């Protein structure tokens, strides 16, 4: 079916970011993930009077994982009336690519007073890509204490993992090309909510698959 010509864009700019999620989509994903976290907390501590929420700690990975963790905690509190501990862990000093970039400024590390020992830690990040940030965060957690279990929640999973790491909770799965850039915007950092994808530089085409279909 052909669209009327006046509704199709005249000449799409291939380098302009295109919207993947709007502010409403982000809010819905956060709400859904908050509900899933409540279920997980209850499932890991059956029979606990507070649904296991006192054993839950949300740890954001700066920059945008930190406000995302705070939002999830706020939604969980709105749904259940129970406060959830939130923290942030800066992973800069644990990165494996420090020597590939100029020196990076550090961000804050803030743990809840009760610590993370013996609790269910959920790492929160905006985009899951290679998995290297998550590995650095796991290394950092090892130095900070011994959680009972660690899980991973991300707003966007864009694929292209370089390590055997997967997310337990995903806001949205987005198939992308490796050359594309996925940007999450959060009002706390960027002034508005939304997710965009930008075309990267064209990469040389892959050689044809030698195995016949």
Partner 1 sequence: MRQHLLEAADLDRADATLVLDTAAQIDAALAGREVKKLPTLRGRTVVNLFFEDSTRTRISFELAAKRLSADVINFAAKGSSVSKGESLKDTALTLEAMGADAIVIRHGASGAPHRLAHWVRGSVVNAGDGTHEHPTQALLDAYTIRRRLGRVDGVRVVITGDVLHSRVARSNVRLLHTLGAEVTLVAPPTLLPVGVETWPVQVSYDLDAALPEADVVMMLRVQAERMNASFFPSAREYSRRYGLDARRMATLSDDAIVMHPGPMNRGMEIAADVADSARSTIVEQVGNGVSVRMAVLYLLLGGAPE
Site residues for partner 1 per CB under 8 A:
90, 93-94, 98-111, 139, 143-144
DSSP 106: P
CB 90 within 8 A of CB 64: no
What's the closest the beta carbon of residue 136 comes to partner 1, in angstroms?
Answer: 9
State how far the alpha carbon of 77 is from the alpha carbons of 85, 106, 196, in Å.
10, 30, 29
**Min separation Cβ 168 and partner 1, Å:** 25
- Residue closer to partner 1 by CB (options 31, 139) is 139
The residue among 96 and 192 lying less far from partner 1, judged by its C-beta, is 96
Nearest-Å Rg of the Cα atoms of the chain is: 20
Q: Which is nearer to partner 1, 17 or 115 (CB)?
A: 115
In the bound complex, what is the minimum distance in angstroms from residue 109's beta carbon to partner 1? Answer: 4
> ω into residue 181 within 30 of 0, thus cis?
no
| β pairing state of 85-88 and 149-157 | unpaired
Q: Locate 204 and state its tokens.
A: 């040389």
Instruction: Please say whether the dihedral angle defined by the alpha carbons of residues 150, 154, 160 and 162, taken in this order, is positive or negative.
Output: negative
Residue 109 or 198: the one with the smaller Cβ distance to partner 1 is 109
At its nearest, how many Å lie between partner 1 and the CB of residue 139? 7
Identify which of 12, 153, 178 has the alpha carbon closest to the alpha carbon of residue 86. Answer: 153
Distance CA 58, CA 70 (A): 8
Question: CB of 9: closest distance to partner 1 in angstroms?
Answer: 41
Cβ closest to partner 1, residue 90 vs residue 193 = 90
């Amino acid at each position: 079916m052909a669209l009327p010509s006046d509704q199709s864009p005249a000449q799409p700019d291939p380098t302009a970011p295109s919207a993947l999620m709007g502010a409403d989509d982000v809010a819905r994903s956060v709400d859904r993930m908050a509900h899933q976290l409540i279920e997980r907390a209850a499932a890991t501590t059956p029979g606990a009077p507070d649904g296991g929420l006192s054993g839950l700690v949300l740890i954001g990975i700066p920059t945008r994982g930190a406000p995302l963790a705070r939002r999830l905690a706020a939604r969980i509190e709105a749904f259940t009336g129970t406060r959830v501990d939130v923290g942030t862990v800066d992973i800069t000093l644990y990165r494996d690519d420090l020597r590939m970039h100029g020196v990076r400024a550090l961000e804050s590390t803030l743990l809840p007073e009760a610590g993370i020992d013996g609790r269910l830690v959920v790492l929160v990040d905006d985009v899951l890509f290679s998995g290297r940030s998550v590995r650095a965060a796991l290394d950092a957690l090892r130095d900070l204490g011994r959680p009972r279990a660690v899980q991973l929640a991300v707003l966007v999973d864009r694929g292209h993992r370089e390590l055997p790491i997967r997310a337990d909770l995903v806001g949205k799965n987005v198939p992308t090309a490796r050359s594309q850039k996925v940007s999450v915007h959060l009002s706390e950092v960027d002034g508005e909510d939304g997710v965009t994808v930008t075309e990267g530089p064209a990469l040389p085409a892959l050689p044809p698959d030698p195995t016949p279909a």
